[in-house]
Amino acid sequence: MVGQLAADSIERRSGVSLWRQIADKILHAIAIGDFAENAALPPEVALAERYGVNRHTVRSAIAALVQEGVLRAEQGRGTFVLSRKRLSYPIGARTRFSAGLQGQASERHIVLLASSVEPASQRVAEGLGLARGTNVIRLETRGEADGRPVSRAAGWFEARRFAGIDAAMAQTGSITASLARFGIDDYLRQSTMLSARHADAADLADLDLQPGAIVLVTVAVNVTPDGQPIQFSESRFPAERVELKLSAL
């Protein structure tokens, strides 16, 4: 069976180019499983007709997705899907990166990109229940599954209580393991705020995205089982590679 592509129209003079809109549609179709891995896309002329655009416009969209590593074009044969559908990242009471992606990716880990000590901003202080300006440690991390970046996060911890968590993080590649060194053997997700926006320049670089991509943004507070805030975090997930599965929390 040939994959389905939504026939609904695309918007002209919207500030988003037609090729970008078409690329998004193809990504979406792949993400929801309309095209299996290695499946052939409809030929360029068919796509052009379906969307009511010129063949060259479709070619621009395909070129972007080839560049992005999603498609592979072969002269004379066709254009084929490389990447599989989106990962499903569970968010619940016990949100854990590696455990959550178990079964969906054979290799998963968190890379520590940078760390620093800084005075808590308004929202970080509020989230952690600290006075504004209290020193906090910020960990900048990237989550990877089978070598693909699937999340980019900043996490804040009270500096006094968690001195050295940056080194622990670099060593273990796991938040859970790092917190264990500070006597925290369990922690719960207290709250999660969720929004979405276009990826900014930093997101594009860190997550290996193409301009115009969308990121899901979660802002969360983790607490000990008795309700003491230990971590405030903001995570970005590329919407084209990840969807969030909200489970019991």
Picked from a second copy, DNA, none, the partner binding residue 214 (CB below 5 to 8 A depending on kind) is a second copy
Indicate the residue among 12 and 245 with the shorter CB distance to DNA.
12
Residue type, 105: A
Nearest to 218 by CA among 249, 173, 182, 186: 249
Indicate the residue among 174 and 210 with the shorter CB distance to a second copy.
210
Q: Which of 1, 5, 20, 131 binds a second copy (CB under 8 A)?
A: 20
Instruction: Please state whether beta strands 214-223 and 188-198 pair in parallel, antiparallel, or not at all (unpaired).
Output: antiparallel
Applying the rule CB under 7 A, the residues between 23 and 62 that interact with DNA are 41, 43-45, 52-54, 56-57, 59-60, 62
Nearest distance from residue 65's CB to a second copy, in Å? 11
Nearest distance from residue 27's CB to a second copy, in Å? 9
Residue type, 12: R
Q: Is residue 193 at the binding interface for a second copy, with CB under 8 A as the rule?
A: yes
Give the integer Cα–Cα distance in Å for 38 and 173.
33
Give the integer Cα–Cα distance in Å for 247 and 32.
20
Picked from DNA, a second copy, none, the partner binding residue 73 (CB below 5 to 8 A depending on kind) is DNA
Q: Is residue 116 at the binding interface for a second copy, with CB under 8 A as the rule?
A: no
Helix (H) or strand (E) holding 113: strand 108-119
Q: Is residue 77 at the binding interface for DNA, with CB under 7 A as the rule?
A: yes
Q: Is residue 234 at the binding interface for a second copy, with CB under 8 A as the rule?
A: no
Nearest to 1 by CA among 45, 40, 30, 32: 40
Long-range contacts formed by 128-134: CB under 8 A, 24+ apart: 128/156, 128/158, 128/221, 128/229, 128/230, 128/231, 128/232, 129/229, 130/158, 134/158, 134/159
CA 41 to the chain's CA centroid:
25
Instruction: Give the HSE-up count for residue 19: Cα atoms under 13 Å, Cβ half-sphere.
Output: 15
Q: Is residue 125 at the binding interface for a second copy, with CB under 8 A as the rule?
A: no
Instruction: Please state whether beta strands 188-198 and 108-119 pair in parallel, antiparallel, or not at all (unpaired).
Output: unpaired
Q: Which of 54, 99, 196, 228 binds a second copy (CB under 8 A)?
A: 196
Nearest distance from residue 74's CB to a second copy, in Å? 24
Q: Which of 31, 101, 128, 168 binds a second copy (CB under 8 A)?
A: 31
Binding site for DNA (CB under 7 A): 12-15, 17-20, 41, 43-45, 52-54, 56-57, 59-60, 62, 73-79
Which stretches of the chain bind a second copy, using CB under 8 A?
Answer: 6, 8-11, 13-17, 19-21, 23-24, 28, 31, 64, 86, 88, 91, 93, 191-198, 200-202, 204, 210-212, 214-216, 239, 243-249
